[in-house]
Amino acid sequence: MERITVTGERGHYEVRIGFDLLQALPELVRSVDGEMRIAAISNTTVAPLWGRRAAASLGAVGIYELPDGERFKRWPQVEAICRWLLSLGWQRRDTVMAVGGGVTTDLAGFAAAVYLRGIRWIAVPTTLLAMIDASVGGKTGINLDAGKNLIGAFWAPSLVVADVNTLETLPPRELRAGLAEAVKTAWIGDHEMLDLMPRGPFARADALQWERMIARAVRVKARVVGEDERERGLRRVLNLGHTLGHALETATGYRRFLHGEAVAWGIRAAALLALERGLMTDEAWRRLARALDAAGPLPPLDDLDPDSLVELVARDKKADAGGVAWVLPTTDGVIPDQRVSIEELHRVIFRLQHASMDRGPDGTMSRL
Ligand code: NAD
Ligand code: GLY
């Protein structure tokens, strides 16, 4: 089992990564507080697979099963969770445990942040993305019509338990999207991690390799948020690939790309810009492109209107006369606050849309 300490503004917490950790939950939780009363929150997909098992192993008083989907990461679910906690007689010293992907950990973490002005919560992430990103760093929140994560709180969990065996049931496409995010994290802070990346699908026999890779990614994120939990500066580097990524998600109504897939296209765009500017050597660029290829094929973007994409990027990131601020990869890492002009953006989208690509049998494309 790997053990990583994260420093937040409200104190330290541990991330435990390993296999068969759901069975070890009672012991892990006791190390935080021997007297904990737990109410579990999961969703209708994860609860029958893992959530009910986790709740039972801890003797949780009950489990709240959210409807599954990003579209439910909204106010009504927060209120429903709070009403449920109230019906259980939940008090300030009691604890909530979130078992699921980033939607569940963001929602349950936010409910924990606002219920009685803040109660303790534990994250049990069950997607690769939630293990390496969403459950670490203290961001919790919900969406509004106007955009994602517009309401939220910095409210770090008291413990994160990532049982890699839960990845066994994760749909392969979700796993690949998580791998793309892992490539992002590796480029930010641990290039050697790229050589240790497992190839999906997840197999129990490779659990140790997954455990090590996830731990390396969490160490990178822990370093960043340990210095800048509230995203006043350094934490912005975690947005590598997000500038174009958000525009792709919005342009397709969040229906075509999983978040990690949109970010993978965004990283490719950022890498092309970096190459043009001489920020990356050809060799580094090829290494990054190969790692993204290995994560898996992406849904296509060649039919999207470039003008709309450019406008979405400019609107989302509030372009000024100097252009839009991007995080760009360099040969050794990343560099934030790089101004990219509208003309450059048009050029890079053209290159992405017209580069020679292999189209897979299912219509997805993989290569730059
Ligand atoms: P998700 O929570 O929607 O999970 C993806 C799908 O996999 C869902 O259908 C879910 O029910 C299912 N699932 C989860 N675990 C499973 C398992 N073990 N077996 C089978 N199915 C399983 O999506 P996600 O990619 O985990 O998270 C995306 C969310 O995370 C977004 O809302 C994003 O804003 C948020 N996020 C937050 C942070 C943060 O710092 N707080 C960082 C990154 C992303
Ligand atoms: N996923 C970006 C962040 O945690 O800041």
Which domains, from first to last, does the chain contain? Answer: 2-224 (3.40.50.1970), 240-357 (1.20.1090.10)
Q: Is the pLDDT of residue 56 over 80?
A: yes
239 catalytic? Reply is yes
Q: What is the identity of the amino acid at 230?
A: R
- Helix ranges (H only) for 25-151 are 25-30, 46, 52-58, 75-87, 102-114, 128-129
309, 349 contact by CB (below 8 A): yes
Cα–Cα dist 240/197, whole Å:
19
Q: Is the pLDDT of residue 130 over 80?
A: yes
User: Looking at ligand 1, which atom is closest to the CA of residue 139?
Assistant: 41
Residue 289 pLDDT: 95
Pairing mode of beta strands 63-66, 38-43: parallel
Confidence category of residue 54, pLDDT binned at 50, 70, 90 = very high
Instruction: Give helix then strand counts, H and E, for the chain.
Output: 13, 11
Identify the three-state secondary structure at position 284: helix
| Arithmetic mean of pLDDT, 140-154 | 93
Residue 199 pLDDT: 84
Nearest residue (by CA) to ligand 2, atom 3, is 238
Q: How far is CA 311 from CA 164, 251, 304, 306, 322, in A?
A: 40, 10, 12, 9, 15
Q: What is the identity of the amino acid at 199?
A: R
Q: How far is CA 333 from CA 225, 304, 307, in A?
A: 17, 30, 30
Beta-strand ranges (E) seen in 158-259 are: 159-163
Cα–Cα dist 146/159, whole Å:
32
Cα–Cα dist 185/217, whole Å:
6
Q: Which residues does 247 contact at the CB level (< 8 Å), separation at least 6? A: 309, 312, 313, 316
- Average pLDDT over the chain reads 94
Quick one: what percent of the chain has pLDDT higher than 70? 96
Q: Is the pLDDT of residue 45 over 80?
A: yes
Confidence category of residue 292, pLDDT binned at 50, 70, 90 = very high
Cα–Cα dist 137/122, whole Å:
13
Residue 100: which of 22, 207, 215 has the closest Cα? 22
Nearest residue (by CA) to ligand 1, atom 42, is 134
Q: What is the identity of the amino acid at 266?
A: G
Cβ–ligand 2 distance for 137 under 6 Å, the answer yes
Q: Which tens digit of pLDDT belongs to each residue from 234-266?
A: 999 999 999 999 999 999 999 999 999 999 999
From the candidates 235, 261, 268, 317, which is the catalytic residue?
A: 235
Tokens of 347: 């050029």
User: Looking at ligand 2, which atom is closest to the CA of residue 139?
Assistant: 4
How much distance in Å is there from the Cα of 97 to the middle of ligand 2? 21
Residue 201 pLDDT: 87
223, 189 contact by CB (below 8 A): yes
Residue 359 pLDDT: 45
Dihedral sign of CA atoms 155, 335, 347, 262 in order: negative
Query: Would you say how long the chain is, in residues?
Result: 368
User: Looking at ligand 2, which atom is closest to the CA of residue 137?
Assistant: 4
How much distance in Å is there from the Cα of 69 to the middle of ligand 1? 9
| Arithmetic mean of pLDDT, 6-11 | 94
Residue 331 pLDDT: 98
Backbone angles phi, psi at 337, to 5 degrees: 55, 40
Residue written as token pair 């500038």: 243
Identify the three-state secondary structure at position 5: strand
Q: What is the identity of the amino acid at 206?
A: D
Q: Which tens digit of pLDDT belongs to each residue from 331-350?
A: 999 999 999 999 999 999 99
Residue 333: which of 291, 274, 289, 245 has the closest Cα? 274
Q: Which tens digit of pLDDT belongs to each residue from 156-214?
A: 999 999 999 999 999 999 999 999 999 999 999 999 999 999 987 899 999 999 999 99
